[in-house]
Amino acid sequence: METFLEVEHLKKSFKDTQVLKDISFKVNKGEIMAILGPNGAGKSTTIRNIMGIMYPDEGKVTFQGKTEIPRNKIGYLPEERGLYKNVKVMDILLYLADLKDYPIKKAKERALSYLKIFGLEGKEKSSIEELSKGMGQKVQFIASILHEPEFLILDEPFSGLDPVSQELFKQEIRKLAANGTAILLSSHQMNLVEEMCDRLFLIHRGQKVIYGTMDEVKKEYANFKCTIKGRNKVEDLAELEDVQRVEQKDDSITLFLSKDVNVASWIKKLPDSLEINELSIDRISLHEIFIDIATDKNILKEGA
C-alpha cells in the first residue's frame, strides 16, 4: 500500500515541557487512520507539525517521500472553525478552492453538488453568520474537500453534529477513502472511530501508547466481557474461573475475562443456578480501552 504521509521520530518541547516524545506513524492512501488521545496528549501539536504551522525540534514529516508540504494536495478541517462570518457561502468556498489552485468552474460545480448532499441547497448566497453551527460545520467540511485533496486531516469532524449529519459525514469520508484519499482523523467519539477507521495511533503524554490496525488493537487489548442480566450475586460471579473483575448496574452484571480465555469452554462452565434473562459476550470497546489508558487505570495491562 502506498504511503502518503510519514511522521518520523517527532520531538517537540515548549520551554521545559516535552510535548512530543519520539512520535512516528504512517498514513497510507485509501485508508482512514485515527490519531487519538486525551486532552493535552499531543494530538494538536502533532497535526500542527504536519501542517507546517510549527516545526519539530527533532524528526521529520514527509509527503510521498518529500519534506515540502504539498498544500494544494492537502485538505484540513481544524477543530476550531474559522470561516469569515460576513462572507457568502459560495464566495468563501470558491476563494478557498482558488488558494489551492483548483479550477474555479469545477469548484463551483462541486460546491453546488456538495451543498445539495448536505441539505444546504439554496444557501450559497447566505452569509456564514446566517447559518446554524451545524450548517457552518458542513460548509467548512466542504471547503476542506472541494479541491479533491490526496491527504485530508479531520480534527473532531463530528463535534456538534446531529445523528443525521454524522451519517452524511461518515458516508462522504468513506467515499473519499474508497477513491484513494489518505485520511488522518482525530475524534473523541470512540464509537465512530471504531466503526470507521482502518488503523489507529493512540498518544498519551506525548508518546505512542497504541499503534496498529483495528483488528490488531482489539486482539491485543480488547479482552472479552460477558454481560448477564438476572438477579445474581456479584460475589458468586466474581469467583468464576477467568473472571478478572466485575461491574454491576441494576440487575445487569458484566464480567471482564482474562486475555487467553476460551470463550466456548468458559460458557459451558457457568453454574446452572444462575438466573439468565439475557446474556451477551463481546470484546471491550475502543472507548473502554481509551478510558483505561487516559485515566492510568492499567486494568488492561494487568489483564494481558
Q: In this structure, what CATH number is given to the domain that contains residue 58?
A: 3.40.50.300
SS3 77: strand
Mean per-residue pLDDT over the chain, rounded: 91
Q: Which residues contact 120 (CB under 8 A, 6 or more apart)?
A: 89, 135, 138, 139
Q: pLDDT tens digits, residue range 39-80? A: 889 999 999 999 999 999 999 999 999 999 999 999 999 988
Same domain, 207 and 237: no
190 is a domain residue: yes
Give the phi and the psi of residue 11 in degrees, each rounded to 5.
-135, 140
pLDDT of residue 31: 97
Q: What percent of the chain has pLDDT over 90?
A: 73
304 is a domain residue: no
pLDDT band at 84 (very low <50, low <70, confident <90, very high): confident
pLDDT of residue 20: 96
36 Rama class: left (phi>0) / alpha (psi -120 to 50) / beta: beta
Task: Give the H/E segment covering residue 31.
Answer: none
Mean pLDDT within 94-107: 96
65 is a domain residue: yes
292 is a domain residue: no
Please give the residue range of the domain that contains residue 46: 3-216
Mean pLDDT within 153-159: 93
Length of the chain equals: 304
Give pTM, 2 decimals.
0.84
* Number of separate domains in the chain: 2
Cβ pair 149, 118 in contact under 8 A:
no
202 is a domain residue: yes
Same domain, 116 and 255: no
The C-alpha cell at 12 is 517537540
302 is a domain residue: no
pLDDT band at 302 (very low <50, low <70, confident <90, very high): very low
Same domain, 261 and 195: no
pLDDT band at 296 (very low <50, low <70, confident <90, very high): low
pLDDT band at 298 (very low <50, low <70, confident <90, very high): low
Same domain, 126 and 271: no
pLDDT of residue 81: 76
pLDDT band at 148 (very low <50, low <70, confident <90, very high): very high
Same domain, 175 and 255: no
CATH of the domain at 233: 3.30.70
Same domain, 172 and 255: no
104 is a domain residue: yes
Same domain, 70 and 173: yes
Q: What percent of the chain has pLDDT over 70?
A: 97
Same domain, 203 and 251: no
